[in-house]
Structure formats: C-alpha cells, structure tokens
Chains A and B, each alone.
Chain A
Amino acid sequence: MATLGVAALAAGCGASGGGASEGGDVTIEFMQWWEPELPDGEFAALIEQFEEENPGIDVELLSGPYASIKDQVIAGSASGTMPDVLGLDGAWVHDFATQGSIADLSAAMSDAGYDDSQLAAQVQVDGSTRMIPVVNFAYPMFVNNELLAEAGVEVPTTRSEFMAAAQAVTDSGSGAAGFIAALGLEKPNGINIDIMPWTWASGGTMLSDEGGPAVNNEDVTSTVDFIKQMWDAGVIAPGGLTMAEQDKVEEFTNERVAMMVSSLAHINLIRENSPDLDFSVVPLPVEDGYTGESGVRYASWGIGMSANSEHPEESWKLIEFLMSEGANGQLSALANGFPGNANVTPDFTESDPLFEDAFTIWEAGYPVSEFTGLPLADELMRVFDEELQQVLAEDKPVDEALGNIQTEWEGIF
C-alpha cells in the first residue's frame, strides 16, 4: 500500500527533468547504474570530456544500483519525470515504449543526420529504435579447472559430455556440485542466464518466425528435459530455487560448484575474491550432433531518451558521444565488455586474458538475447520460472509445463 501510495503521489506530481541553468547552459539528467560498477571517477571523467567538447551542455549524473534505477525509472515513467537520458535494460524497453515514455531514437538519428551503420545493434519496437546497446556483456560458461581435473574430466563440449563431467565432479568427493542455476523468483532472470542459453547455444529459439512465443517447441523442450535430467541426477547445486545471481557467483568463487553460465563482468569480482582460483571461460556445450553456429547470450548496458525531454537535441548529443569510437571503446574497456560501436576493436592489452578468450567465443558465434524487446519480459521469465520450479521440485511433466507457459505467454504477447 505504501509503495503504491508513493507511486500514486509521484503520478500526481509530473514535471520534466533537466532545465536551463543561470548562465544559459542546458543541464540534462542522465540516470544509470553504470557509474557504481566502473572504477571510481572514470565515468565522471568521461562525462567531463563530453561537457568540454560540448560547451553549453552540463550533464547531471544520477547513479545508483541496478535494482533501484529500475524502480526509479518505472516511477519516472508513471509520473512523466524521467531523466533526459537513461540507462536501459533490454527487458524494460517494450513496456516503456508502449507507455510512450521513451523516445523514438530512429527519429532522433534521422534529425541529427546520424549514420547508424556504426551501431552494432539497435533494439526496436514496432520498427522504431528505442534503445541502443552501449556495452555488451557475453555470458559464456565458467569452469573451475581444478575441480574438473580432480574429477578426471575434460572441458565438455556437448550436453552428454557436460552431464558426465557434472556427475563426475559431484561424485568426486570434493563436496562441489557439477552445475548451478539461480532460479529465485525475486529476480527471475535465471531463465535468461542459466536455462535458455542452452537452447540458444544449439541454434534453438523460443520464438516463432513472426516473433511470437514458441516456447513449447522441440528446442526448449530438449533444454528443459536436460535440466530436469541434471536435477534428478543431483548434479545441480542445492538451494537453486531461491538463489539469486550473486549467490551463484559466490558459490563458484568458493569452489562449491564446477561450472556455471555467467557474465564476463564477474571475472574481476571472482579474481578479487579468490585470486588463486584456476578457472576458464569456454563455449556453452551444444546438443549432441549439433555442428552449426552457437548463439551466445549477451546482456547490454543500453541507452535511451525520455519522450518528454525538454532538451532532445542535447540528449542525443550525449548518446552520440557515448557511441563514438573513442568514448565507446574507452567505456567498454573500463566495463570489461564488448563495444556497442561496430567499428571499435576491443583493446585487451591491459585486461585479464580470459576476456580475449571470451571475445573469441563471441566472434565464433552470434549474439542472442531473445527476451530483449519482448513485452513484460520480467513477467515472461517469472511465468517460465514458476513452471520450471514445478517441473524440478514436483515432477510436473515438461510438456504440460511448457504448454502452460506458452498459453500464458500468448496472453502477454
């Protein structure tokens, strides 16, 4: 009631962000979760560079953790008080676009005469670009080399090899589990991170050719069957049904699990917390017999603009700056991600060698992030997660669960 009350008040107090300062300069607000995740002062320095190159435009950085930014952006969308420029997650884009709270970037690019061929990707809703991925983070498989060696197995490349390796690790007496999946409902992104990448790695999809739901197809059925098989064999780490992503990374860091799917952004965290951990990043195993190209799941720091911004031109200039070769290369290097500008080649000279390995995996496959741009993406994942939990914990038949998900998804689409 209290939360809804605050949202209600916010909705009644609409006013646009940003404004003109006394000297005639334009101040634009930029809300994102990136600054706290970058080395101290680096993002502010980049923004200062923008301000120097664009006299008359001041940028006010509104920074916070991801979860808090999401709630603030939703409240801002409701009240019409969105900041001029904002960090976006692909999962939010469709909802904000249909609410009319984020601007049509295709029009902004066209007005500014911007050549969008340099953009590696654009997230569109109904044919209009609403989000531009600034930095991309691939999600390969992390393996603990020591645990695999102790269990006497090689890095698996197919699902059957993976199953055997996970079983060997679990049975090795080390106390570690073979695999881990964070399926907590607080943030049901485990479906996007730990489950669906198995489908995408084998060239599968959860969508129809028209972009509608096809979650009960053979590709996804095979994946869920495989996960269920691992669950029944006891090779998935316990506690997964309420686990969050950070718990999963902690379990891997503490050597209680041998293999996980995770973001490259976690390499530094793992190195920091466990400097001696011997681990690698490798491609996710594929279905036995599959020889095609693998889809590599990725997440992005996306950027968008408020539809109500009083300073759309200045806001676009900031986006253009962050997507320029120099700034984008710098930002992606700082974030240990892959650049959103297709002309930038990542510089790995000062990075952990694992990033170069990951870039090789990234280049060998194709980027995939099927939840990006879908309506109520979080809710789609939650529906999937709730049914998957019933499959795992209560032996609900896979076909029935996927059928239910398909029905619910069709309702949402």
Chain B
Amino acid sequence: MAQSRQHKVTAAAFGYLSPTLVLLAVLMALPIGMVVWYSLQNNVITNANPEFIGFEHYLDIFGDSQFHAAIKNTSVFVLASVVAHLFLGLGFAMLLNTQLLPHWVKTLFRTIFVLPWLLTVAIVAVLWRLILNPSGVFNYLLVSTGVIDSPQEWLADPKLALFAVVLINIWCGYPFFMISMLAGLQGISAELYEAASVDGAGLIRKFFSITLPQLRPIIISMLLLDIIWTSHQFTLIWMTTGGGPLDRTELLSTYTYKLAFSQYMFSAASASAVVVLVISAVLAFAYVRHQRARD
C-alpha cells in the first residue's frame, strides 16, 4: 500500500517535471546528440548521403596547426582574462565595500564600474574598434602623454592583437566578478574583523586570514564559471579581429565557426565543437562538485 502510494508520488513528480524534461530533451539533448553524431560522419548538411567515418575528423583536427594555434590562443585569452577579472573584481568590490569612503562616492563608483556590464558585446566591439583605431582616442592619449612614440595598430598588429582583445574582454567582464565579490564581502560578519582587531591583526592579516577564506567558495565558483564563459567567447573576437591578423586571435570558437560557415565542413566543425563541449563539461562537473561540497 505504502509502496503504491510512493509510486504515485513519484509518477506525479515526473508528471509535473515532464514539460521541462521534454524541453531539455528537445533543446539540449537532441542537438548535442546530433552534433556528436555529425562529428562521426564524413560530412553532413551539404552532403545528402553522409557516411560514418568514426573519429577521423577528431584526428584531423588534433593534427591541424590552426587548431593548435586556437588552443594556445584560447588558453592565453582565458587565463589572462580570468586572472584579471578576479583581481579587478575583488579590488573594486573592496573599494565599494570600504567604510573609508562616503556613501555618495561609493554610489558614483558603483555606477561607473558596472557600466561595461550594461553594454552588449556587439556594442562593446564597435566601441573598442573605434577606441583602438590607429587614429583613435587610445593612441591619442598614449602619444600625447609620451607613453608611446607613434600610434599603434592595436587590433591589426600581429604582436599586439591578442593583448588588445584580452584587454577588451577584461573591461567588459570584470563587473560580474565585482558584483559577486561585493555580495560576498557584504556577507562577512563584522564581528570577525572586530575580533581580529582586538587580537591586534592589521589590514593585510585581516585580508588573508578573514576576507579571502570567507570569499573562497565564491571565488572558486566564479573562476570556474568565468573559465567556461570566456572559453566560449565568440562575438567579441569575430567583431573586432575575425580571428586575425594571421591567426593571432584565432580561438576555438572562431576556428569552429570558420570550419562550419566558411568551409562548409559541418562534420569537422561538429568535432571541434564536441572538443569544446568536453572541456566545458569537465569544468562544469568541477563546478557542480564544488557547489555540492559547499551545500
């Protein structure tokens, strides 16, 4: 009797969940399954009779020098962006949380600091193309203050392009870190700092012994999420450099896009996308484990 009731409860729960489960299956599982299946065929979409070829596309991709460049650039792009997001986000959050500044100053800074987050990536790309133009305001400021001798082609110089897109990504990505850190900082009990003061701890000691340990769960979560998001960045790169000059800003996302929509090699592009999916899945798994451990 009790078992039958339990079955009914379980069936009712699945009944309520079924619209979501159907949506997840149609919008997530099915496309992912199709892309994985595509990656195992010689070519799809442009080929009416695709043939199963196993892991051939994966072997081709792993041997492609452009893929190696994309992996290298993506690693640099992600690492530099995430580290900068962390330090800037934490720094600005601490500034906004300090008791040393009057309230109106903090409100002003909060508004200014959060501005990049309000702009869509397309607007950010257009804005920074203008700013970093050889005749743009960035060069003007640097030349007029004597930092550089002559205007630089920030986005078009092979030696500077990756640095330039990292700079733009840092600018548009730090506010989310900042807001999350600020929320974390505001959740730290003031009593901890008071007790530390009584024990004679200075500012630096308080930062390393109270602030950082208290923020640790948020920092780890944010780092994992930011790595996943940054490694998927496409629009910003596509709209500023298109992966060039040469292959200096080619990321996994632009590499995959070009395979699909420039070369119409949808199966090879699917294989590349699956590689990105696996990397993201590992990070997502780490994130979920971390969240569970927190709970």
Contact = CB atoms under 8 A, between A and B. Distances in A.
Interface in A1-53: 1, 3-9, 11-12
A390 to B, nearest CB: 6
Contacts of B30: 8-9, 12
Given A7-B45, A376-B264, A382-B258, A238 B31 contact: no
Interface string A289-319: 0000000000000000000000000000000
B247 interface: yes
Interface residues of A, number: 42
Nearest to A240: B156
Given A187-B242, A238-B134, A242-B241, A71 B258 contact: no
B61 to A, nearest CB: 14
A373 to B, nearest CB: 16
Contact of A242 (B45, B245, B258): B245
B134 A11 contact: no
Given A4-B35, A9-B30, A11-B45, A256 B266 contact: no
B144 to A, nearest CB: 15
Nearest to A12: B34
Contact of A1 (B158, B258, B273): B273
Contacts of A390: 246
B246 A95 contact: no
B244 A184 contact: yes
A237 B155 CA distance: 14
B35 A1 contact: yes
Given A9-B31, A12-B34, A187-B242, A239 B269 contact: no
A386 B151 contact: no
Interface in B239-295: 239-247, 256-258, 260-264, 266, 269-270, 273-274, 276-277
B133 A239 contact: yes
Contacts of A238: 134, 151, 153, 156
A187 B257 CA distance: 12
B135 A393 contact: no
Given A11-B45, A187-B242, A3 B156 contact: no
B168 interface: no
B245 A241 contact: yes
A153 interface: no
B48 interface: yes
Interface of A: 1, 3-9, 11-12, 71, 74, 77-78, 95, 98-100, 175, 184-187, 237-243, 247, 256, 376, 378-379, 382, 385-386, 389-390, 393-394
Q: In the A-B complex, list the 6 residue pairs whose CB atoms are closest, starting with the nearest.
A: A186-B242, A5-B31, A241-B245, A8-B34, A185-B244, A185-B242
